[in-house]
Amino acid sequence: MAGKVVITGLGTITPLGLNTSGFWQSLVAGRSGATRLPEQLPADLKVRIGAQVQEYEPLRFFSPNDISLLDRLSQFALIAAREAVADAGLSRDELRDGAVIIGTGCGGKETDERVYQMLYREQKHRLHPLTIPRGMPSAAASQVSMASGVTGPVFTVSSACASANHALIQALLLIRSGLVEVALAGGTDAPFTYGLLKAWEALRVLSPDGCRPFSNDRNGLVLGEGAGVIVLESEGHAKRRSATIYAEFCGGGMSADAGHITDPSTAGAAAAISRALQDARLNPEEIDYLNAHGTGTQANDISETRAIRLAFGAHADGIAISSTKSMHGHALGAAGAFEMIATILAIKHGVAPATINFNEPGSGCDLDYIPNQSREMKIRAALSNSFAFGGLNAVVAVRAC
């Protein structure tokens, strides 16, 4: 195997805080980021709660001219990337030959929605000349590249709710291969538009009153938004500049169910978990904590529990598991980035976040889900799961340094 890949910078903007410190403090405290959606939404919209970024004022972060060219998901990605780069202490010269890989499940839906309003409701016949570059799925990666001065590989990964984990694994592979020594990777999404909310509403998987993963009274997911960006470096590059290292990004596993577009496969998810362990050269018994995909839907939580049992065997009962989606919601293409950062910080601080809103285990959910209160514990190594519609699975492995 090539040299180690390490994590040296973290950046977030989430429903739990405008930066990583706020995000982590909220996770440890077990605070929910879900709130009632604005009252001015159309009356025919049945979903009324969501985990939106609170107290977000774009003008605190961008000039008016910049905002006109940045979809909300690009704004989030830029804010998270700025924090991650500053946290890592990287200069533009050190970033220049690196990579940027950003996952998104939705792309620029805010831009799309505004275009359709102008064309079909307002009957306008002309759009802004930069509408396409503002709303294209690769906009966030491009904007982060330009802001950071990165001239190496820059691209977007889109695999629904596994997008961020797939982006992180691609960055891991790029560094291992020697093509780059540093990468910014993560995910971003901003799904709170009328059209997208109506589409999710039609799926009948949204909870009307809160996300309760693995609990017997769970009734669906709560949408979230935001971005998470992580700085990855080869161990040699990090040590040469005396960087502070959070943890080792030691492996990733990917699989496809090749089955149903929405119904998850236990075997497919278990394959991704096992491949992550194999790639990281970790024995199942070395995993102390697992950040679950844990959406709070009937199908996912049972299937994921079975997948964990299938991949870990008897050790499944010894793993502390939580779904932080119970707090930050399901941020789609950004979810894996939130959860990877939560996992990294759990290792660093020796605290595993809880699964909040937990009543009692649901049928088929019989593992240790860290109910309602975070847990102090030593974490040697951990996994974070992301499973997406279309049967696209990506699992990342992190180890204490």
Q: What percent of the chain has pLDDT over 90?
A: 97
Q: Kind of pairing, strands 289-291 and 320-322?
A: parallel
Give pLDDT, residue 20.
Answer: 98
CA–CA gap between residue 149 and residue 91 (Å, rounded): 10
The CATH number, out of the four listed (3.10.450.50, 1.25.40.10, 3.40.50.300, 3.40.47.10), of the domain defined by the range 5-240: 3.40.47.10
Retrieve residue 175's tokens.
């560094």
State which amino acid sits at residue 303: S
Length of the chain: 401
Give pLDDT, residue 225.
Answer: 98
- The DSSP secondary-structure symbol of 263 reads S
- The DSSP secondary-structure symbol of 118 reads I
CA–CA gap between residue 30 and residue 323 (Å, rounded): 11
- Separation in Å, CA 265 to CA 12, 214, 292: 31, 17, 15
Location of each CATH 3.40.47.10 domain in the chain: 5-240, 248-399
Q: Is 330 a catalytic residue?
A: yes
Give pLDDT, residue 182.
Answer: 98
Three-class SS state of 116? helix
CA–CA gap between residue 366 and residue 338 (Å, rounded): 25
Q: Is 161 a catalytic residue?
A: yes
State which amino acid sits at residue 341: I
pLDDT tens digits, residue range 53-66? 999 999 999 999 99
Residue 98 above 50 pLDDT?
A: yes
Residue located via tokens 């949204």? 206
State which amino acid sits at residue 207: S
Q: What percent of the chain has pLDDT over 70?
A: 100
Q: Average pLDDT of 232-236?
A: 98
CA–CA gap between residue 330 and residue 130 (Å, rounded): 30
Mean pLDDT of the chain: 97
Residue 1 above 80 pLDDT?
A: no
pLDDT tens digits, residue range 138-175? 999 999 999 999 999 999 999 999 999 999 999 999 99
Establish how many alpha carbons lie within 13 A of residue 380's alpha carbon, considering only the half-sphere containing its beta carbon: 9
Indicate which residue of 166, 237, 330, 365 is catalytic: 330
pTM over 0.85: yes
48-65 as b/e: b if 16+ CB within 10 A: ebbbbbeebeeeebbeee
Give pLDDT, residue 2.
Answer: 64
Residue located via tokens 């997208």? 196
Indicate which residue of 161, 211, 250, 365 is catalytic: 161
Is 248-399 a CATH 3.30.565.10 domain?
no
Phi-psi domain of 72 (left: phi exceeds 0; alpha: psi -120 through 50; beta: other) = alpha
Indicate which residue of 166, 237, 250, 293 is catalytic: 293
CB 331 within 8 A of CB 162: no
Measured in whole angstroms, how far is the alpha carbon of residue 307 from the centre of its chain? 20
CA–CA gap between residue 25 and residue 333 (Å, rounded): 23
